[in-house]
């Protein structure tokens, strides 16, 4: 059985990790779709799809090794046209039996095409939030404890904090 989750993962954090851990209790294969794959170098989307693949692959290596879970990580470009969204995803990932999402629009679009949709496992979304982590990065706060240590490594390898700080500087 193969499950699909989709997120932007800017960056991949411990909330995502917990979610993956919960889902892979029920499924032995997991597809991680990286949304907004064409975007990078903005506050909302600082990391490229390639960098996000890198983060997630490293952070989930432990799962793959210890649980024998089969993992597929694939970038998915936004198409800005809801009516073709599900077909677009279907063409970019291996066949799947279940999609997990909390996004009402995604839920609706997949249900209209006949898919079964499950809610994401709950985690502390106040604490683990991409937006909050990016703000902490810009303001030199304590962000490292909120993401897996492999993600810290990748962000440091690509000088991610410096990139983010420069991008949000005012043009004056």
Q: Point out which residues bind its own copies (CB under 8 A).
A: 37-42, 48-51, 53-54, 57, 61, 70, 72-75, 77, 81-84, 86-88, 90-95, 102-105, 107-109, 125, 157-158, 163, 166-172
* E strand segments, 35-153: 70-75, 98-100, 117-118
Residue 35 Cβ vs its own copies, minimum distance, rounded to whole Å: 13
CB-nearer residue toward its own copies: 73 or 147: 73
* Strands of the sheet with 2-7, listed across from one edge: 70-75, 29-34, 2-7, 98-100, 117-118
Residue 143 Cβ vs its own copies, minimum distance, rounded to whole Å: 20
CB-nearer residue toward its own copies: 62 or 88: 88
Residue 21 structure tokens = 């851990």
CB-nearer residue toward its own copies: 24 or 142: 24
Residue 129 Cβ vs its own copies, minimum distance, rounded to whole Å: 11
Residue 21 Cβ vs its own copies, minimum distance, rounded to whole Å: 21
Q: What b-and-e string marks burial along 27-43, b requiring 16 or more CB atoms within 10 Å of the CB?
A: bebbbbbbbbbebbeee
Q: At what angle do helices 149-157 and 49-59 cross, to 10 degrees?
A: 150
């Amino acid at each position: 059985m193969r499950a699909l989750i989709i997120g932007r993962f800017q960056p991949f954090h411990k909330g995502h990790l917990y979610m993956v851990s919960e889902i892979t209790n029920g499924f032995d294969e997991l597809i991680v779709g990286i949304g907004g794959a064409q975007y990078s170098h903005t506050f909302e989307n600082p990391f490229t799809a390639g960098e996000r693949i890198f983060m997630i692959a490293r952070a989930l290596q432990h799962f793959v090794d210890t649980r024998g879970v089969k993992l597929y990580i694939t970038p998915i470009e936004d198409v800005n046209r809801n009516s073709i969204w599900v077909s677009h995803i279907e063409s970019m990932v291996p066949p799947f039996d279940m999609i997990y999402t909390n996004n009402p629009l995604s839920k609706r679009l997949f249900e209209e095409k006949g898919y079964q949709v499950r809610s994401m496992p709950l985690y502390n979304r106040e604490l683990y939030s991409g937006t909050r982590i990016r703000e902490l990065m810009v303001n030199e706060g304590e962000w490292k404890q909120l993401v897996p240590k492999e993600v810290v490594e990748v962000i440091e390898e690509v000088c991610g904090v410096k990139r983010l700080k420069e991008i949000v500087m005012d043009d004056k």
